[in-house]
């Protein structure tokens, strides 16, 4: 849960160790509530969580492999 909150709350490009970490939600701060903005918010969330989702898929794939003795 902390990893998700971190990725969604940091401005994308502001974290020194990983410029791809974070979201672009700050761009929506003063936007009106219209369907286009909702689509942008979903896109920004997917973009921010993309590396975490890929990591979870790799872990799941690794755990599904037959164990070697």
From residue 40, how far is each of 25, 34, 46, 55 by CA, in Å?
Answer: 9, 10, 10, 24
Read off the pLDDT of residues 5-55 as tens digits, 9 standing for 90 and up.
999 999 998 989 988 899 999 999 888 888 999 999 999 999 999 989 999
Q: What pLDDT is stored for residue 60 in this prediction? A: 85
Asked if 44 and 19 touch (Cβ cutoff 8 Å), the reply is no
Residue holding tokens 């969330």?
45
Asked if 21 and 11 touch (Cβ cutoff 8 Å), the reply is no
Q: What pLDDT is stored for residue 58 in this prediction? A: 87
Q: What pLDDT is stored for residue 48 in this prediction? A: 94
pLDDT at 57 over 90: no
């Amino acid at each position: 849960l902390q990893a998700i909150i971190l990725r969604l709350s940091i401005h994308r490009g502001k974290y020194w160790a990983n410029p791809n970490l974070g979201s672009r939600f700050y761009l929506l701060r003063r936007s009106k509530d219209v369907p286009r903005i909702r689509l942008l918010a979903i896109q920004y969330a997917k973009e921010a969580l993309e590396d975490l989702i890929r990591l979870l898929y790799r872990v799941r794939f690794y755990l599904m492999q037959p164990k070697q003795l």
